[in-house]
Structure 1
């Protein structure tokens, strides 16, 4: 499969193409579907020629990022009718490329956080889900909304924790930090880590217990309800044409997805033999970071007082050996 929609990222004048695409992305956020080249020019600001923007739109159309439709809304003469005028809009391919780039940029710039509030929210949602599991006929809509909310909150928690621990590791690898600044940061960070560890121990234990109790009652019917509800709007077409009811095929697909989500969620909080939970591993990483922070401060203090580190000692020793008769 050729991915022509990515071509503008490496083509000459890629900055112009990206600016044009971002203008369309911004317009869609404002619920504007079509743009004329003049509209894009206005979005890019002064200094951009209309002919340049029009050419960029045509090139993006050739790559599959934009779709062009004849613009007949301002035709007043025969000459206007025969002059090429187009309205442009994002194609699914173009929108997907920009969504991927936005995700990439966000991931690189994300420092992350250890979200104790998210833990409390997850526990609250699980309590409500447990109540529904106890009901003889749980409300499918409530089950579905709770599970979706749970997945969203958990995804945010896990992603932020991963980003934070990565940024923390980069911080611990610093070698040229200012001692006073780092010491102040260290104090705040240690307090932050200790508070999260405390919350993770308490709330994480409650979450693990709720997961087990929900499974004892039966998580399968809850996942069935969510999958069936999402399958109700399945449209005919594609692979679903091979079955009598396209909703059944969509249900099967959604059911597998919900089971994978639940298993991943369970593994995050509930340990198995020889497989500690992700929460337990995160707790261990956070605890291990505290003495490492203290070691970094000690090393920085040594440098400030003029004492050499071990690598400097080895270099000095090597010079002595080289100068020895």
Structure 2
């Protein structure tokens, strides 16, 4: 259930919770661990808020019984407690009531206690440190308990015993969580054993019989109980699933969750139980998947056992070869002979040089040593197989007709929107209203074309010998719309949804392109 809830956290929440493990990445992480152990020791005697002096005293008690416990001075201990409070593992409070003198009252008197998530982080680290490979197992006795709990759950729901419904459903949830954890740990450990038998074949052979018997007994119990568990799950649902979940939520005593949240939580827990044992439309259950994984593991153990037996029967394996080589090296007369023997055994004498041209050939002189020249990047293909990498045959062009049709549709809509904006500009003008984004885009394009096509007329005034350049009126057209920038001493302003466009010395006139053709014919 915890893994499911963790999937709903966003990146920021995940980052905040990872910050709780910062003390494991510091240089003196062992010291931080013993400081937290001291705070936890005080918490066990119901002393929730502790000061630095109390933690120091507890550290001395731990150091008397454990040689690994460090001795931390009071000043350094306060600094580490503050760092843990910064990471969120501890909460820090200022408690003036602990001051015994005026001087200590003036100084900061801080007390510390575990935060809820901080204690979970510390507990997770302790569980990891306390994990032992010898503890893993597949519990075959749990199936009878699950079958009994399902029968009692159906009877309690049928007779209306609310507390028994809550008690049995809670026990089933705990059993399912423990069963999933045990199976995951067992198969991970078994995979580790199968991977690292080269150095521990004696240990594997010593425990092979117990391992095979353990997995075989588990598979036998699973095959015997799985059909009965399937029927028991359906019998529980036949008594009324909604009533069952409602009664469990009613008896739930979690104060910080309302009834709707408790009902959703118990619904998720029941569906987790159902996924383990109840078959649905031919899909395998979690228990059946566990059985298949265990059968595969048995096959892997048997194959590994055959491999180890054959290697020991022949008398030569990797360990034997290394022992003989170590004896030969030890018996060599001098260091030179030992190095020569090791070089021949591991082929460390053969030179495997690899070189490619630098991108800038003139950067280094041909007479420079390779030791002084800069290195170049070498592809993995060239390094491993002595072949230059190639990109292979060009891949065929993928024709995504759906994307092309969508692109054409969007382009058509954009063109229709521009035509509608141009028609509004011609009919309503650009000055007496507020232009939207589409109208502003069309107007700016027309103004840009008009400004690019304008010309300057040069005249000489009577009062000045200089030549003065005046901008003539500019005209342009685009997609059937004609724009004229007519000279106006007062200028003009166009209001848009994003602001105002000022045209000093000009006024905008818009007309359809057909009006331009008619005007030219009249001039002729």
TM-score (norm 1): 0.79
Query: Deviation of residue 12 (structure 1)?
Result: 4.2
For structure 1, which runs of at least 5 residues remain unmatched after alignment? 236-246, 310-325
Between Structure 1 and Structure 2, whose CA radius of gyration is higher? 2
Secondary structure of 1:116 counterpart: coil
Q: Are 1:227 and 2:227 matched, yes or no?
A: no
The within-5 A match list for 1:85-104 is 85-102=109-126
Query: Deviation of residue 61 (structure 1)?
Result: 2.5
* 8 Å contact from structure 1 (residues 41, 48) kept in 2: yes
Distance 2:44 2:149 in 1: 30
* 8 Å contact from structure 1 (residues 133, 219) kept in 2: no
* 8 Å contact from structure 2 (residues 151, 236) kept in 1: no
> 1:230-283: per-residue Cα shift (whole Å, max 9, x none)?
2x6645xxxxxxxxxxx7xx2222222222221121111122234111211222
- Give the root-mean-square deviation of aligned CA atoms: 2.7
* 8 Å contact from structure 2 (residues 197, 204) kept in 1: no
* 8 Å contact from structure 2 (residues 156, 162) kept in 1: no
The within-5 A match list for 1:156-305 is 156-177=178-199, 179-230=201-252, 234=255, 250-305=258-313
Mark the CA change 1:127 to 1:13 in structure 2 (over 3 Å): closer, same or farther.
same
Secondary structure of 1:88 counterpart: strand
Q: Match of 1:42? A: 57
> 1:98-135: per-residue Cα shift (whole Å, max 9, x none)?
24434555679685321122222211211111111322
Q: Are 1:19 and 2:34 matched, yes or no?
A: yes
Distance 1:83 1:275 in 2: 67
Quick check: which one's helix share is greater?
A: 1
Q: Which of 61, 80, 101 is 2:104 aligned to?
A: 80
Secondary structure of 1:19 counterpart: helix
Quick check: which one's strand share is greater?
A: 2
Distance 1:274 1:215 in 2: 19
Mark the CA change 1:74 to 1:174 in structure 2 (over 3 Å): closer, same or farther.
closer
- Using CA pairs under 8 Å that are at least 6 residues apart, name the structure with larger relative contact order, 1 or 2: 1
The within-5 A match list for 1:114-129 is 114-129=138-153
Distance 1:15 1:273 in 2: 53
Mark the CA change 1:120 to 1:95 in structure 2 (over 3 Å): closer, same or farther.
same
* 8 Å contact from structure 1 (residues 69, 88) kept in 2: yes
| Aligned residue pair count | 293
* 8 Å contact from structure 1 (residues 112, 162) kept in 2: no
Q: Match of 1:69? A: 93
* 8 Å contact from structure 2 (residues 172, 273) kept in 1: no
> 1:175-232: per-residue Cα shift (whole Å, max 9, x none)?
41555542331111111112111211223332221101111222221111112332x6
Mark the CA change 1:103 to 1:75 in structure 2 (over 3 Å): closer, same or farther.
closer
For structure 2, which runs of at least 5 residues remain unmatched after alignment? 1-11, 64-70, 318-524
Mark the CA change 1:110 to 1:189 in structure 2 (over 3 Å): closer, same or farther.
closer
* 8 Å contact from structure 2 (residues 245, 266) kept in 1: yes
